[in-house]
């Protein structure tokens, strides 16, 4: 009776922890990796996206008591990122996307304070740049509202909402500035 070797090539194993560990709402510990593609088999359950159109950045929130922030939210069971991106852009900001690009991802490990996952659970949270071709009204049934801000106020809103992630969200801003300089956005 022999035991077969499991196919470990299909299992996502995060790289060793880096020097800078992030605390994400006390529920996750993570580290950022700059990348244009996610690793094969990465277990993605939540994403972040920084939205721009023209010379403005856009922020959104659900409800009146929440701070303004980026487009973010869970990736539904069985939903691809190609389906997630246009869905959350429309639901949270009323945006139709002209392009979207991955700027990096957070390798996250659940802490004992995580209410949704057992401690040690591994998840990958991508950070995207979204460039809108059109901005319409936010669908009323979603409960979201949106604001258009000049770049300096947009950056401040993100610093206020995401102090631990701000430097990584800023990579989307940097990428957008490069695309604008090239006439591609």
For residue 15, the tally of other CB atoms under 10 A from its CB is 9
Does a structural domain hold residue 7? no
Comparing 54 with 21, which gets the higher pLDDT? 54
Predicted pLDDT of residue 65: 82
- pLDDT tens column, 47-86: 999 999 999 999 999 988 889 999 999 999 999 999 999 9
Q: What are phi and psi of 107, to 5 degrees?
A: -85, 115
53: β partners: 56
Question: Are the C-beta atoms of residues 136 and 94 closer than 8 Å to each other?
Answer: yes
Give me the mean pLDDT over the 119-138 stretch.
Answer: 96
Predicted pLDDT of residue 1: 47
Helix (H) / strand (E) containing 116: none
State both tokens at 148: 């258009």
Predicted pLDDT of residue 34: 94
If DSSP codes are grouped into helix, strand and coil, which group holds residue 32? Answer: strand
Considering the chain, what is the average pLDDT of its residues? 91
Predicted pLDDT of residue 170: 95
Does a structural domain hold residue 90? yes
Question: Are the C-beta atoms of residues 12 and 42 closer than 8 Å to each other?
Answer: yes
Does a structural domain hold residue 42? yes
The pTM score is 0.87
Predicted pLDDT of residue 64: 86
| Ranges of H-type helices in 46-136 | 81-93
Torsion angle defined by CA atoms of residues 171, 20, 163 and 151, in that order, rounded to the nearest 10 degrees? -20
| Per-residue pLDDT at 136 exceeds 80 | yes
Does a structural domain hold residue 14? no
CB-based contacts of 53: which residues, under 8 Å, 6+ apart?
A: 95, 131, 132, 133, 135
Candidate from 14-23, 144-153, 159-168 with smallest mean pLDDT: 14-23
| Per-residue pLDDT at 105 exceeds 60 | yes
Nearest to 51 by CA among 180, 178, 176, 163: 176
Predicted pLDDT of residue 9: 63
| Per-residue pLDDT at 7 exceeds 70 | no
Nearest to 44 by CA among 94, 80, 82, 3: 80
Q: What is the CATH number of the domain that holds 147?
A: 3.90.79.10
Q: How confident is the model at residue 15 (pLDDT cuts 50, 70, 90)?
A: low
| Cα(169)–Cα(164) distance, integer angstroms | 10
| Per-residue pLDDT at 120 exceeds 70 | yes
Does a structural domain hold residue 13? no
Classify strands 28-34 and 22-24 as parallel, antiparallel or unpaired: antiparallel
Does a structural domain hold residue 62? yes
Comparing 64 with 145, which gets the higher pLDDT? 145
Domain count, the chain: 1
Which structural domain range is residue 127 located in?
21-181
Does a structural domain hold residue 79? yes
Predicted pLDDT of residue 67: 93
Does a structural domain hold residue 43? yes
């Amino acid at each position: 009776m022999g035991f077969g070797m499991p196919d470990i090539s299909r299992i996502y194993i995060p790289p060793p922890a880096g020097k800078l560990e992030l605390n994400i709402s006390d529920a996750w510990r993570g580290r950022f990796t700059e990348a244009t593609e996610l690793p094969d088999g990465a277990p993605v359950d939540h994403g972040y996206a920084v939205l721009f159109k023209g010379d403005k950045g856009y922020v959104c929130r659900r409800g009146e008591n929440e701070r303004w922030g980026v487009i973010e939210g869970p990736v539904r069971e069985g939903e691809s990122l190609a389906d997630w991106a246009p869905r959350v852009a429309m639901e949270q900001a009323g945006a139709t996307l002209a392009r979207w690009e991955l700027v990096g991802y957070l390798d996250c490990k659940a802490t004992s304070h995580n209410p949704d996952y057992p401690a040690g659970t591994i998840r990958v949270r991508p950070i995207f740049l979204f460039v809108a071709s059109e901005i319409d009204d936010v669908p009323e049934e979603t409960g979201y509202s949106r604001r258009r801000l000049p770049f300096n106020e947009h950056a401040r809103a993100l610093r206020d909402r995401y102090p631990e992630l701000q430097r990584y969200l800023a990579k989307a801003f940097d990428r957008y500035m490069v695309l604008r300089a090239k006439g591609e956005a």
